[in-house]
């Protein structure tokens, strides 16, 4: 693993997330494909919370506080506890971009990090610092996929009476 490539992937991931959300209003971003599925606003809020409270924090603990328990997180609970539905979409994306820049600055400033440093998670087992970095990148990709699916579903709803079949199948 080349951690520098993964760090650059995080930078590219932020640009991709900004691109797939550009120009959407809060009301557009609040649309849900189906009851129980996240809106684009909720996905953006989740990304922001994960940036601030999960990946960077837990990687810091793994690298610099060996043996200390990770702070607890509650991604599902944050939806209500952090009142995602009341947030402004554009401001949330700006906050995410700012937090990602902080993360990238922090990552690029690490001096000789031990990517094999590990934490033993009570449910997931041994997780190395490098695993966290790679998972951070994967998290972006998973949510980019989710956002692409959101856009597809939204297009299906708004394109009528026209059909999208000529484009191909999802």
Q: What digits encode the pLDDT tens for the residues 9-49?
A: 999 999 999 999 999 999 999 999 999 899 999 999 999 99
pLDDT value of residue 64? 97
Q: Work out how many domains the chain is built from and give that number.
A: 1
For residues 79 and 37, the answer to whether their CB atoms sit within 8 Å is no
On the question of pLDDT at 170 being above 90, the answer is no
CATH of the domain at 55: 1.20.120.450
Q: Is the peptide bond before 50 cis (omega within 30 degrees of 0)?
A: no
Q: Which domain holds residue 136?
A: 3-167
pLDDT value of residue 8? 97
At 47-84, the pLDDT tens digits run 999 999 999 999 999 999 998 999 999 999 999 999 99
Reference 93, options 154, 147, 162, 57; nearest CA is: 147
pLDDT value of residue 169? 85
On the question of pLDDT at 1 being above 80, the answer is no
For residues 78 and 49, the answer to whether their CB atoms sit within 8 Å is yes
Quote the pTM value.
0.94
């Amino acid at each position: 693993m080349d951690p520098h490539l993964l760090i650059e992937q995080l930078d590219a991931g932020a640009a991709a997330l900004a691109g797939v959300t550009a120009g959407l209003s809060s009301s557009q971003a609040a649309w849900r494909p189906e009851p129980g599925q996240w809106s684009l606003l909720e996905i953006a809020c989740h990304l922001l919370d994960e940036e601030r409270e999960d990946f960077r924090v837990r990687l810091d603990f793994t690298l610099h506080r060996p043996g200390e328990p990770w702070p607890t997180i509650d991604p599902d609970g944050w939806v209500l506890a952090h009142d995602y539905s009341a947030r402004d979409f554009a401001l949330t994306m700006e906050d995410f971009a700012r937090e990602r820049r902080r993360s990238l600055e922090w990552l690029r400033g690490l001096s000789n990090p031990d990517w094999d440093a590990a934490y033993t998670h009570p449910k997931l087992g041994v997780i190395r610092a490098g695993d966290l970095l790679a998972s951070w990148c994967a998290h972006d990709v998973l949510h980019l996929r989710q956002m692409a699916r959101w856009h597809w579903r939204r297009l299906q709803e708004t394109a009528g009476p026209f059909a999208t079949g000529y484009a191909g199948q999802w």
